[in-house]
Structure 1
Amino acid sequence: MSKDELCWTPATELAALIRKKKVSPVEVVEAVLARIEAVNPTINAFVTVTADEARRRARAAERTLARRSATLGPLHGVPFSVKDLVITKGVRTTFGTPLYRDNVPAEDAPMVERLQAAGAIMLGKTNTPTMGWIGATHNLIFGVTRNPWNPERTPGGSSGGASAAAAAGLGPLHVGTDGGGSIRIPASCAGIFGHKPSYGRIPTYPPSGAWSLSHIGPMTRTVADAALMMNVCAGPDERDQYSLPAERVDYVKALGGSLRGLRVAWTDDLGFAEAVDPEVAAVCARAAKVFARLGCRVETVAPRWPSPKEPWEQIFCGGIAARLAPYLDRRDEIEPGLLAIVETALKNPPTRYVQAWFDRLAWWQHPRALFERYDLLLTPTIACAPFRCGLDNPTAIAGRSVSAYAWIPFTFPFNLTGQPAASVPAGFTKDGLPVGLQIVGRRFDDAGVLRAAAAFERAQPWTARRPS
């Protein structure tokens, strides 16, 4: 297998090839590091590359393979990356801001710890906007991350470094986080798979500013790779008091189940979208019809839910504002758009934040009622195609002016509810930009969402098409 093909090989296959000694961990790591060196200067996906440590671990993994009766983890020798919002022991973690330019954590986040315990080899950290504040990826310390499909467009965010890396073949496994769509948005923009697990399914530590909204999860090119990461990473951790009890499920084995008879709702407007690009809606509507061919009972619905944007913004932006408040004497190190949000949030009375929590809890009754009738909900992942690099948000969709965060009306609601939700590549616009379809499941039904995504992938495969 050529070096280039090693870079595009799924983790499920790499792990098997390494186990059978058909390729070595050193070969795999060297191939991906060489591709990072060649491609990353254009797209700026990685902001820190731990090449020396990765090579050291790859050599150690190779020595382990040479030992008889060695116990190998399920990801032995497979490379992965970590978003720069997620702490990594001994490796700089900046949270996308000059304020933490020299921050070197003394411990790993649980997901990083578990991936390494399973034998995976970290290659480095991927770019993020400051504390994940927007759905694009640029910051004052590392600059702009670009979309491999079109370098003038954003790969989404806030896990945009991870999505760009996955789409460009810079390793098979990537760790992302999601407080309002930050796994699903970039998965849609970059034409990859991203799964936001149920809240607490994979432990988060330390807590982020938007801790009650924040999920951590896999970003990959295939559903099976994400399921493999779930197998390794899901389960409780005492550092996260909201982490869920372990499920007795093998997420990889669960991918093969049938969808026949499932009740599936499709909509391109939950009731409060300011605008949805007609081309994006059309691509997703065609993708939703695939589920009918898979044996599902698919119905178009018009929920007419009230918007939960106010409580989400108060909780999300209020949390980030509280984290940045001690640094307001260093305003030149905070993006202007973010600084405005911080200053506004800090003027709010405490009761407004508390009221946002009441509103959040009350809003759950709307999706609860829908999921009493349906097993899955399908929507566009985002309301538009990837927009130009450097913008915090698109200013218009389909010729209509829109407010900030108006382009993500399908993602942030399910951070408020904590439900599992994934983005699958649904197709492309006429300009060759990726479009994602969101699959939302019932509370705690990660296996069901992953099974649905895998069935869609089998019916409409996407990995053969790669950025040029």
Structure 2
Amino acid sequence: MSKHNEFAWMSATEMAHLIRTRQVSPVEIMTATLARIEELNPQLNAFVTLVPEQALEGARAAEEAVMRGRPIGALHGVPIAIKDLTPTAGIRTTMGSKLFADNVKADDAIIVKRLKAAGTIIVGKTNTPEFGHKGTSDNLLFPTTKNPWNLSRTSGGSSGGAASAVAAGLVPLAEGGDGGGSVRIPAAFCGIYGFIPTSGRLPSDILNPFAGTSPFLRFGTLTRSVEDSAHMYQAMLGYSAKDPISFETHPHEDVRLTLENGVQGLRIAYSPNLGYKPIDPQVRASVEAALQVYRDLGAVVEEVDLELVDPLKNIDEEWAKLWYAMIAAIFAGAPKEVLDQLDPVVVRMIELGNNLGGVELTLASYAREMIYNRLNAVHEKYDLLVTPTTACTAFPHDLPASGPLAINGPTSIAGVAIDPFLGWALTPMINQTGHPAATVPVGFDDAGLPVGLQLIAPRLGEQVLYRAARAFERSQAHNQRRPQVEGALHVY
């Protein structure tokens, strides 16, 4: 195997070990990383901004630190991608918008500072829909991001560039943000591990200090391995006064301490569709095969009824109201010449948000309380709740625009009509409640497209979530099956 491919599929954990023990130079890794990105990114459109000179300079500094025996972080010298919504000092952050095409921040987001302190080296920014507003990664500024398993299919969104880059072996680590499934959806569609913690675990200083709670917006990880995610998550943890809901995490809560503890005796509740979502039969089959794996590993798995009241209204519709109101507030009073530069779907969301009244928004919060209480009731009896992450696998880019938002997405699943916005995702509920969640790749459909299983832990239950994800990963080989995007699409 050439060094080019060896580094492409190497885990961040192994890279850091080889760098720390002076078996491989971070410059060697970065040179190969940049060469692979140059070769494959024109097909994938995962990265929208690259900083090769800065990345190589960082790699040389990382090498010098190792050679001089200086203290180094757990991810020293490892390449990382940052989502184009997250501020990065000296590297443009466009947010997928024409309005910010040349926007360069003077300072990093808090979590970017912490990832740098852990030793990661930024190679560039990954694609996102404008302001992260939907579950596919296309915008008016850059080409559409492609799914490395099939270039005609979506990578998901809004962290679709991040997921595509990791799944294609361009980088081992990518940061993402999740306000309705924006980490979990693309991770599921691209066949990688996606994780978001309990709200407050990772501090945010991107929006107004209180704006990221309705719904809960969270940073997360996109990686090919659970262990890599654990190292990345631990690097970002901790309180910041800039985020009023952030809090300290104690050393005994380090998810790496219990990563290999397995699932023997773990109680897992299974909801096939949250009581209301139509699910593609192949997705359901892959998910239920994964549940049998958990049973074989010693877990108790039982199907449950969440007893959610009118879930279509109280999850999909009420979550959407919170989302529309947040976007409308950001653009309150914006002149027509500003709105004219926005994606028409974003403009429509702003209009819908402007039409919402205070009582209507308060009622949307009441819906969150019902869902929160129902999840807590399940977690009183079970260690985890699991569902499909998405109701279908990655769909084609060229689906016609439809639905109330005139958005590109599936209009039916298993013969049942759905809203093409996010009617195919089982993820927004967790952005209403703030519970930690992850998606694990558990199989493929007949077209060779990945299927994801969503794991939902109790609040502050990250350790059990990581244990369960790692146990499945250890028992299966899904993370060893890789898309090949060099030339014609094949799988090897």
Taking structure 2 as the reference length, the TM-score comes to 0.92
For residue 219 of structure 1, report the CA deviation from its aligned partner.
0.5
CA contact (8 A) 1:135 1:182 kept: yes
CA contact (8 A) 1:137 1:144 kept: yes
Aligned residue in 2 for 1:81? 81
Distance 1:303 1:417 in 2: 14
Distance 1:412 1:222 in 2: 24
Aligned residue in 1 for 2:450? 434
CA contact (8 A) 1:174 1:220 kept: yes
| Change in 2 beyond 3 A, CA 1:461/1:119 | same
Distance 1:367 1:148 in 2: 34
CA contact (8 A) 1:205 1:239 kept: yes
Match of 2:274 among 252, 270, 274: 270
| Change in 2 beyond 3 A, CA 1:406/1:129 | closer
2:153 paired with 1:149: no
CA contact (8 A) 2:318 2:367 kept: yes
Aligned residue in 1 for 2:331? 324
For structure 1, which segment, 405-414 or 4-13, has the greater mean C-alpha deviation from structure 2 after superposition? 405-414
Aligned residue in 2 for 1:36? 37
Aligned residue in 2 for 1:312? 319
Match of 1:290 among 288, 293, 300: 293
Q: Deviations over 1:161-191 (max 9, x none)?
A: 0000000001111001100111100010000
CA contact (8 A) 1:134 1:393 kept: no
Aligned residue in 2 for 1:53? 54
CA contact (8 A) 2:322 2:364 kept: yes
For structure 1, which segment, 310-319 or 329-338, has the greater mean C-alpha deviation from structure 2 after superposition? 329-338
Match of 2:474 among 446, 458, 465: 458
CA contact (8 A) 1:210 1:315 kept: no
For residue 327 of structure 1, report the CA deviation from its aligned partner.
5.2
Q: What fraction of aligned residue pairs are identical, expressed as a percent?
A: 43
Aligned residue in 2 for 1:355? 363
CA contact (8 A) 2:271 2:387 kept: yes
Distance 1:88 1:48 in 2: 11
Amino acid at match of 2:476: Q
2:346 paired with 1:338: yes
Report matched runs for 1:170-319 at 5 Å.
170-207=170-207, 210-212=212-214, 213-248=216-251, 249-273=253-277, 275-306=278-309, 307=311, 308-319=315-326
For structure 1, which segment, 426-435 or 97-106, has the greater mean C-alpha deviation from structure 2 after superposition? 97-106
CA contact (8 A) 1:266 1:379 kept: yes
2:368 paired with 1:367: no
Partner-residue secondary structure (3-state), 1:153: strand
For residue 244 of structure 1, report the CA deviation from its aligned partner.
2.2
For structure 1, which segment, 279-288 or 297-306, has the greater mean C-alpha deviation from structure 2 after superposition? 297-306
For residue 236 of structure 1, report the CA deviation from its aligned partner.
1.0
Amino acid at match of 1:288: L
For residue 390 of structure 1, report the CA deviation from its aligned partner.
4.8
Partner-residue secondary structure (3-state), 1:105: coil
For residue 368 of structure 1, report the CA deviation from its aligned partner.
1.4
| Change in 2 beyond 3 A, CA 1:365/1:328 | farther
Q: Deviations over 1:4-23 (max 9, x none)?
A: 11121001000000011111
Amino acid at match of 1:467: P
Distance 1:359 1:134 in 2: 22
Distance 2:262 2:466 in 1: 12
- Unaligned 5+ segments in structure 1 are none
Q: Deviations over 1:241-289 (max 9, x none)?
A: 111222323322321113111110112121221x211111111111111
For residue 64 of structure 1, report the CA deviation from its aligned partner.
1.4
For residue 406 of structure 1, report the CA deviation from its aligned partner.
4.3
Partner-residue secondary structure (3-state), 2:106: coil
CA contact (8 A) 1:272 1:304 kept: no
Distance 1:448 1:379 in 2: 16
Distance 1:387 1:398 in 2: 14
Amino acid at match of 1:302: D
Partner-residue secondary structure (3-state), 1:35: helix
RMSD: 1.5
Distance 1:445 1:393 in 2: 33
CA contact (8 A) 1:272 1:305 kept: no
For residue 210 of structure 1, report the CA deviation from its aligned partner.
4.6
For residue 331 of structure 1, report the CA deviation from its aligned partner.
3.5
CA contact (8 A) 2:437 2:456 kept: yes
Aligned residue in 1 for 2:6? 5
Partner-residue secondary structure (3-state), 1:358: helix
| Change in 2 beyond 3 A, CA 1:233/1:327 | farther
For residue 111 of structure 1, report the CA deviation from its aligned partner.
1.3
Distance 1:364 1:250 in 2: 25
CA contact (8 A) 1:269 1:302 kept: no
- Unaligned 5+ segments in structure 2 are 400-407, 485-492
Q: Deviations over 1:106-137 (max 9, x none)?
A: 11111111110111100010000011111111
Distance 2:376 2:254 in 1: 26
Taking structure 1 as the reference length, the TM-score comes to 0.96
